[in-house]
A and B are shown apart, each in its own frame.
Chain A
Amino acid sequence: MAVVRIPTVLRPHTGGEARVEVDGATVGEVLTALVADNPALAERLLEDGKVRGYVNVFVDDEDIRYLDGEGTAVPAGAEISIMPAVAGGAR
């Protein structure tokens, strides 16, 4: 079981939930289960089964792009964060 953190902008599609518990051994399995439970999330998060370009997914703070992508292993109790890409603030 992993915890998926949902950004503010997507919470209307999770019934307002900021943290959702989802089963899955990999990021791909977790996201598939997440959109199965919350179908409105599908087109916001995925494109052709892959995470969309403007969406960053982190497993325990590490960007999955530099791990194994959608195949990244999700240890029990891991925290998966979905974050929109934003430009820097003070810099």
Chain B
Amino acid sequence: MRFADISQAVGRTPLVGLPRLSPPGYEIFLKLEGHNPTGSVKDRVASFLIREAERYGHLQPGQRVLEPTSGNTGIALAAICRVRGYPLTCVMPENTSEERKQTLTMFGAEIVLSPATEGSNGSVRVAREMAAADPEVFMPFQYGNTANALAHHETTAPEIIADLPDVTAFVGGLGTGGTVTGVGKRLKRWNPDVKVYAAEPEYGDLVYGLRNLDEGYVPEVLDLDVLDGRIKVDSLRALEAARRLVAEEGIFAGVSTGASVAVAIRVCARLPEGSKVVALSPDGGWKYLSTGAYAPGDVKEIATAISGTLWA
């Protein structure tokens, strides 16, 4: 495969079977989004956010891009903004790991910190205030931008259909909601019988903190109607599945992948025998080594110790 530059080399990721983790009589496949240029599914999203903004004239040459993100979206945006000539500012909680901050700085992004106690909701608040105060910046805002789900509707789902036309169910993690909404709608258009399940990370108390329920935030991108089930997965079970994945299938993936694999295994029990379930792996495990998630030792103790920072 040959491309003009890195921003073109997004998608067409491998779909690999998990014969050792699949329950007897079922086939689970994992879509390895870690194989994208900056190592995550967010290369698809960043590509669509920027491309759609250019197409509709929301983004002018050299204009600054601003986004609340401490993770994969920031890194993906940083790469595409770099090659397309847009300066980038990322707003993230102040307790974001040094590794993340260094990666974003290396790609040339500027970093603005929001209060740790407010979590990612705080980054959203600060970014919105900054955007409101400065008409010169463009905020793609992945939580509310239809280009987020569109990326999955137009690229991720068609790839799954091409590789596995008889897919019976899809499992994706619940972050912005873009993956399950975009992939789910396209798969159901292809076959209305396809089931779509969301794996919801159960954050530790430290992440929820003292946040008021009234301040809860449901991303506009998420279409709850496309789901057939929403299953929460705590740090321990996500970690156990991520560790089984590398130990038994030789796939080193992030903790969110563990959550989706755990849900994929669980939903097989309610699907007809012979079902083929696709789970989406948002990224590899490399970025999470510094959290201690993969350190040797008792997985229960590790999960308890890091549940507050694991998903953040």
Please choose the segment from B4-12, B102-110, B202-210 that sits at the chain A interface, where 4 or more of its residues have CB less than 8 A away: B202-210
A-B contact pairs, 27 of them (CB 8 A): A7-B205, A9-B211, A44-B213, A52-B213, A54-B214, A56-B230, A63-B230, A63-B232, A65-B224, A66-B230, A81-B202, A83-B202, A83-B232, A84-B215, A86-B119, A86-B120, A86-B211, A87-B176, A88-B120, A88-B175, A88-B219, A89-B120, A90-B254, A91-B41, A91-B71, A91-B175, A91-B256
For A14-58 the 0/1 string (1 means CB < 8 A from B) is 000000000000000000000000000000110000001111101
Closest to A18 in B: B205
State in angstroms the CA–CA spacing of A52 and B205 once bound together.
Answer: 21
State in angstroms the CA–CA spacing of A56 and B70 once bound together.
Answer: 25
Given contacts A8-B208, A90-B312, contact A63 B213 (CB under 8 A): no
Complex contact B175–A10 (CB within 8 A): no
State in angstroms the CA–CA spacing of A52 and B215 once bound together.
Answer: 12
Q: Is A68 an interface residue (CB 8 A)?
A: no
Q: Is B181 an interface residue (CB 8 A)?
A: no
Given contacts A84-B208, A89-B175, contact A10 B213 (CB under 8 A): yes
Give the chain B neighbours of A63 by CB distance below 8 A. 200, 229-232
Give the chain B neighbours of A52 by CB distance below 8 A. 213
State in angstroms the CA–CA spacing of A58 and B143 once bound together.
Answer: 23
Complex contact A7–B232 (CB within 8 A): no
A residues 66-80 with Cβ under 8 Å of B? 66
Complex contact A62–B230 (CB within 8 A): yes
Given contacts A54-B213, A65-B230, A86-B216, contact A91 B207 (CB under 8 A): no
State in angstroms the CA–CA spacing of A4 and B254 once bound together.
Answer: 30
Give the chain A neighbours of B208 by CB distance below 8 A. 7-9, 83-84, 86
Q: Chain B interface (Cβ within 8 Å of chain A)?
A: 41-42, 70-73, 119-121, 124, 143, 173-176, 200-203, 205, 207-219, 224, 227-233, 254, 256, 282, 311-312
Give the chain A neighbours of B211 by CB distance below 8 A. 9, 84, 86
CB distance from B151 to the nearest CB of A (A): 13
Complex contact B119–A85 (CB within 8 A): no
Most buried by B among A54, A55, A81: A54
Q: Beyond the given A61-B231, A84-B215, A91-B73, could you list 15 further A-B residue pairs with CB under 8 A, ordered by the A residue number?
A: A7-B213, A8-B208, A9-B213, A52-B213, A54-B214, A66-B229, A83-B202, A84-B216, A86-B207, A89-B70, A90-B175, A90-B256, A90-B311, A91-B72, A91-B173
State in angstroms the CA–CA spacing of A72 and B212 once bound together.
Answer: 26
State in angstroms the CA–CA spacing of A44 and B233 once bound together.
Answer: 24
Give the chain B neighbours of A8 by CB distance below 8 A. 205, 208-210
Complex contact B227–A89 (CB within 8 A): no
